[in-house]
Structures are given as structure tokens and as C-alpha cells.
Amino acid sequence: MFLDHITLHIEAGHGGAGATSFRREKSAEKGGPDGGDGGEGGSVFVRANKALNTLNPYRHKREFRADRGGNGEGCMRHGKDADAIRLEVPLGTVIREVGSGEFLAELLVDGQEACVARGGRGGLGNTNFKSSTNRTPRHSQPGEEGEFRDIELELKLIADVGLAGFPNAGKSTLVSRISAARPKIANYPFTTLEPQLGVVPVDEIDSFVIADIPGLIEGAADGAGLGIQFLRHVERTRMLLHLVDLTDPMMEPEEAIRIIEGELEGFSKTLFSKPRWLVGTKLDALQDDDRRARFEALCHARGQEPIFISGVTGEGLRALVFQVGEALKGMPRS
């Protein structure tokens, strides 16, 4: 099951206490203080791992505590520094503090990590307090407390192209035909229940990543349907392909476009402002020339050449891939 949003409780380790100790050796009658410092408490890091694609590892364990540092000992022995713990997350994870909503980090590169709770500093042993006026200090410091907080992990998949459209518009079919991804496909709404990523080869050198999300329906921005839960996954894309089923007997292309674009705008002005191409799907089953002509007119009104594809016959797919590949070359990454 796909998990892309979760809250964790994390605690860094307490610092070890410094020691109060004096040399007591026959050969050193006035040995003086020799208490060692306490060790550092373990910190908590979150690290990006390209091998992961969901937050599922944290479904059943949501509390993490690092070890405390070791206490200092006599003979100037320093307490052991505790090991840090690292929580592995997918690329594209955003970290915020629960409650304040403070942004802590955004991990976009494999191996990138952020410290989200710092371990407590170890206390100083009594040897640090020796002076000309205090030859036998009898106090040392306790270790400091480690930081603790609740953090929110939100995954936003990293893709170049996002797909938008109603259920059954052909999004999953398109992904399966132009990439190695194999999303579940069937002739009923909401076949796609979780986002899918596919790598699309353009030629022997270039490729791009495409993201298929569950289909939108009217009212999605207000919580209806499934797609709104996953629109965050196309917020980072550089462009959108809005797939329009030209054979849907229940809805005209103009109405389908109006509703989906309204939901995109209602969710995020930033998402709505991204470059967006209309793509007419199911060309193999299109028999209404008037629908085709009206769709072409809609495209021309946006300054876009009409794009028609068929996931069944493959017509228009390679042309679409090349067009998208060329367009992406001139677009900055989000």
C-alpha cells in the first residue's frame, strides 16, 4: 500500500555526565582531579535513498530514540559518543515540524541528509574546573538533553511530466505503452489507486520520468474522489499532459477540460500555471468528426498544435514522446 504522508516522534540521545574523580596513586600523592568528559548523545538524521519510493517502512514504527552518550570516568577517560540513527526516506521527501509547521528540509538527491534532532552535549568532568584558586574541584557537569520533536514526512515524487485527467482517460495505458512501468489497467474508474512512475526513453541518450496519478473528478479540490490526495506528486513536474477522452459519451471534451482545469487551479495556483498540453486519447475509437474538430479548435485557441494518441494501436505515441522530450530541454527543473 502506498504511503506518502506520515508523522514520526524522534528523540536524540542525552549527553553523558562528566565525572568527578581524583588520582589516587601511591606515586602521585597530590594527583589532582582527573574526571573525564561525558560522551555526546546520538543525533537523528533523515537521509534520502533512491531505492525507496514510499514511506511504508514507517507504517508500524513511528517512534525513534537515539542512545545517550557514555558517562566520563576517572583517569581522564572520555565517555563514548553515541551513534547517530538515520531514517531512510525516498527522494522528494519534505520534512516539517508538527505543530509549528516549520520547514526543516527537502531531500532531493540520493544520500542527502538532514539532522532533525541533535544529540545532547556531554558534560565536562571536574578536571576542566581546576584553577590556581581551586586545586580540587568537586563538581562536574551533567550531560545536556537531546532535542526531541514530532516531524511530518511528506513525499512528493520527482518526475518531469505529470498526467492529469478523468478516470478512464487513458493515463495508465499511456504510461504502460511508453515506459517499462506496468500500472494496473481495466475498463472501470479508479483503476489507479496510487501514483505510478515510469522512465520514458526519447532516444539512445535522453529520457524523462512521467508520473501517473489517480484520476480527478469534479469536486476533487474539495476532497471528492482519490486524485486530490496525490496531486502533490505532480507539483514538482516541469509540465503536465492533460489527457482528454474523446469518445466519452457522457461528457463533451470542453466540459471535461473545464472541470479538470478547475480542480487543478483549486488545488494549487503553482500547479495550474505549469506548461500544460491537451492530448486527445482513444483515437482508434473516435468516430465523431465534430468532436475531433472541436478539440482541434480548443488546442489552436491555446496556441498548441492538436495531439491525438491511441494506447491500443500506438498511433501518435512516439511523436508525443519526441515532442515532450524536445520541450523539456528548454524547461528548468522545479
Residue 242 lies in a domain: yes
The order of strands in the sheet holding 161-164 is 196-201, 207-212, 161-164, 239-245, 276-281
Q: Please tell me the distance from the alpha carbon of residue 119 to that of residue 122, in angstroms, as a whole number.
A: 9
Q: Is 244 helix (H, G, I), strand (E, B) or coil?
A: strand
Q: Please tell me the distance from the alpha carbon of residue 328 to that of residue 153, in angstroms, as a whole number.
A: 29
Query: What's residue 156's pLDDT?
Result: 80
Last residue of a domain, one of 92, 121, 155: 155
Q: Please tell me the distance from the alpha carbon of residue 313 to that of residue 316, in angstroms, as a whole number.
A: 9
pLDDT bracket for residue 249 (50, 70, 90) = confident
Q: Please tell me the distance from the alpha carbon of residue 236 to that of residue 332, in angstroms, as a whole number.
A: 11
Regarding whether 243 and 207 lie in a shared domain, the answer is yes
> Rounded to an integer, what is the distance from CA 215 to the centroid of its chain?
21
Q: Is the pLDDT of residue 161 over 70?
A: yes
Regarding whether 216 and 148 lie in a shared domain, the answer is no
Instruction: Give phi and psi for 208, each to the nearest 5.
Output: -145, 165
Regarding whether 91 and 202 lie in a shared domain, the answer is no
Range of the domain at 254: 161-329
Residue 319 lies in a domain: yes
Mean pLDDT of 233-258: 87
Q: Please tell me the distance from the alpha carbon of residue 229 to that of residue 146, in angstroms, as a whole number.
A: 35
Residue 302 lies in a domain: yes
Domain count across the chain: 2
Per the prediction, the chain carries an average pLDDT of 86
Residue 80 lies in a domain: yes
- The CA distances from residue 134 to 76, 126, 139, 298, in Å, are 18, 11, 11, 87
Regarding whether 308 and 181 lie in a shared domain, the answer is yes
pLDDT in tens, 68-92: 999 999 989 999 999 999 999 988 8
Is the model more confident about 111 or about 194?
A: 111
Regarding whether 205 and 118 lie in a shared domain, the answer is no
Q: 261: burial class by Cβ within 10 Å (0-12, 13-18, 19+)?
A: middle
Query: What's residue 334's pLDDT?
Result: 59
Mean pLDDT of 171-200: 68
Last residue of a domain, one of 128, 155, 182: 155
Residue 334 lies in a domain: no
pLDDT in tens, 286-330: 888 999 999 999 999 999 999 999 988 999 999 999 999 999 988
- The CA distances from residue 98 to 63, 112, 287, in Å, are 14, 22, 54
Query: What's residue 191's pLDDT?
Result: 46
Buried b (16+ CB within 10 A) or exposed e, 76-112: bbbbbbbebbebebbbbbbbbeeeeeeebbbbbeeee
User: Would the CA dihedral through 284, 279, 205, 107 be positive or negative?
Assistant: negative
Is the model more confident about 161 or about 2?
A: 161
pLDDT bracket for residue 173 (50, 70, 90) = confident
Least confident of 121-135, 149-163, 179-193, 301-315: 179-193
Helical (H) or strand (E) element with 175: helix 171-178
